[in-house]
Chain A
Amino acid sequence: MSRTRRTDDLRVPAGLLIPAALGVAILVLPMVGLIVRAPWGDLPSILTSDEVLTALRLSLVTATVSTGVALVCGVPVAWLLARTTLPGRSVLRGLVTVPLVLPPVVGGVALLMVFGRRGLVGGWLYDTFGISLPFTTEAVVLAQVFVAMPFLIVAVEGALRTADRRYDDVAATLGATSWTTFRRVTLPAVMPGVLAGAVLCWARALGEFGATVTFAGSFPGTTRTLPLEAYVAINAGDSDVAIVLSLLMIAVSVTILVGLRDRWIGAA
């Protein structure tokens, strides 16, 4: 790690510097710990093991599909929240962002109560079509969407609120329908916010654990994503695998975040 030192660093008050250093340490030390404890010699064999590759593939696919679902459903929700005067809008905003603060396990239980085989919707699906969601890859996606979509909604709503609404007015005077206006004017204007939201959403979906294990279960290839694989490994007393999986998740995330960050700064 390289560090650039500037003369005005000296003026940083200790009252800020010390807690800041502590904060950074809390955030960074766990990663350092993983790197120190990692079984580097066994790394290649662990990374290429069937279980890890299977979990990695499942994680990438489900997180990406979840982000897609969140984009299709979440952007319109953000639009409703930012651009309409729906009665009860603030209640709606509270409701759709609850998963941000809800323990994911609770989310998983809630999903089970609704989409489980005896749940409100799940019961009907099962009795009518014989469709049962728990223990399927679709359930993993549903759990990830539940937990991660609020990140996208919040980011996109913020972007919509700061976007200049007069562009929409101009488009309307030019004869554009509200759908055309949304598609050709509003959406391009908030695209950076949508991208940021999608990345957040994807990263959160990739790391999703609690709701997934509760609602979708844990079976290799179907529902056992990387975080679940890591959890199984630690509970089976296989901490090496758990460490490697954690490093893998960090590496994937850091690569993507750094890559996107550079692109954004280049565009700005």
Chain B
Amino acid sequence: MRRARLALAVTAAALLSVACGGDDGDDSSAAPSDEAAAETTEPADAPTGTVTVLAAASLTESFEALADQLGDDYPDLEIVYSFGPSSGLVEQLLSGAPADVLATADTNTMDDAVAGGVVDGEPRIFARNTLALAVPAGNPGNVTGLADLANPDLRIAICEPQVPCGGAAQRLLDAAGVTAAPDTLTTDVKEAASLVALGEADAALIYLTDAAAEGDAVETIDVPETDQVVNDYPVALLTDAPNPEGAQAVVDAITGEPGQTILGEAGFLAP
């Protein structure tokens, strides 16, 4: 029975990996790789080193573009992102994940971080986002408005209520008086956006910016109620930031130029 015992050992290892939650990493981290521009004259007080930024998934495209631009100004500054659902990021911070900057997709999750004592100073709102009713190109489900989200024959993706985009979606549906019949609750707004882009979901409530980021694969349906639900995006320095100078430079860039321009181009509203 040596085989059986070996099999059991393998099983035990497999189970452990699940138990440890080590199955899959969904948080993609992107590190811009601008090897320093051939510039030798730079201000003596220019920030250097690595800055780790935990940011809401909906900020992925904008923040990566921002890192590209900052690379020109601060060649010795490296920005490492971890994108994910804001609530999950806060949970990581509270468990002791080392990071310099936190940017969330709503104030509730930032409040949790503040309450947990990991935030240094006052968070600042740097952008606002609205939801969009997104459908695949060509609108195969003939979705015309929020009421269609109650149609059980359509395949609907909405964010999990505990994450910011899900919370926003719930407020929007409440405002419209619609009880949605979702087929899947994603933990991450990007997941919902991908499902629409792939045509697997007939409609999803995602941020306007995420709908825009999917390009031609996704269309949005005009919904008047979306104006009523606006998410504020706060950013904050973190108490245990390993690189406070670099972190300050990144936050300044997000709240000022060039961040505001990039965010505006992506469809975010100014604070």
Tell me, yes or no, whether A and B come into direct contact in the complex with CB atoms closer than 8 A: yes
Q: Tell me the A residues contacting B by CB distance below 8 Å.
A: 27, 30-31, 34, 103-105, 112, 116-118, 132, 134-135, 151, 155, 158-159, 162, 192-193, 195-197, 199-200, 203-204, 206-207, 209-210, 216-220, 222-224, 227, 230-232, 234-239, 242, 246, 249-250, 253-254, 257, 260-261, 264-265, 267-268
Contact pick for B87, options A117, A235, A250, CB 8 Å: A235
A192–B3 CA distance with the chains assembled, in angstroms = 9
- CB of B16 within 8 A of CB of A237, answer no
A122 vs chain B, min Cβ distance (A): 9
Contact pick for B23, options A227, A237, A257, CB 8 Å: A227
Contact pick for B198, options A34, A118, A159, CB 8 Å: A118
B155 contacts the other chain (CB 8 A): yes
Contact pick for B18, options A27, A105, A227, CB 8 Å: A227
B157 contacts the other chain (CB 8 A): yes
A155–B10 CA distance with the chains assembled, in angstroms = 11
- CB of A246 within 8 A of CB of B1, answer no
A226 vs chain B, min Cβ distance (A): 9
The residues of A that contact B242 with a CB separation of less than 8 Å are none
- CB of B18 within 8 A of CB of A232, answer no
Contact pick for B1, options A103, A207, A265, CB 8 Å: A265
A118–B11 CA distance with the chains assembled, in angstroms = 35
The residues of B that contact A253 with a CB separation of less than 8 Å are 11-12, 15
Stretch at the interface among B35-43, B118-126, B177-185, B252-260: B177-185
B14 contacts the other chain (CB 8 A): yes
Given contacts A200-B11, A207-B14, A250-B15, contact A237 B198 (CB under 8 A): no
A154–B23 CA distance with the chains assembled, in angstroms = 21
- CB of B187 within 8 A of CB of A235, answer yes
B223 contacts the other chain (CB 8 A): no
- CB of B182 within 8 A of CB of A219, answer yes
- CB of A249 within 8 A of CB of B18, answer yes
Contact pick for B16, options A30, A135, A162, A196, CB 8 Å: A30
The residues of B that contact A230 with a CB separation of less than 8 Å are 21
- CB of B163 within 8 A of CB of A217, answer no
New A-B contacts (16) at CB < 8 Å, excluding given A117-B199, A217-B185, A219-B182: A27-B16, A30-B19, A116-B199, A116-B200, A134-B155, A135-B155, A151-B10, A207-B15, A219-B185, A227-B18, A227-B23, A235-B85, A235-B91, A249-B18, A260-B8, A264-B4
* 25 A/B residue pairs, CB under 8 Å, sorted by A: A116-B199, A116-B200, A197-B7, A203-B14, A207-B18, A207-B19, A210-B24, A216-B184, A217-B186, A217-B195, A218-B186, A219-B185, A227-B18, A232-B160, A232-B162, A234-B88, A235-B85, A237-B162, A238-B162, A239-B95, A246-B21, A250-B15, A257-B11, A264-B4, A265-B1
Question: A37 — nearest CB in chain B belongs to which residue?
Answer: B95
B109 contacts the other chain (CB 8 A): yes
- CB of A235 within 8 A of CB of B162, answer yes
Contact pick for A237, options B21, B26, B87, CB 8 Å: B87
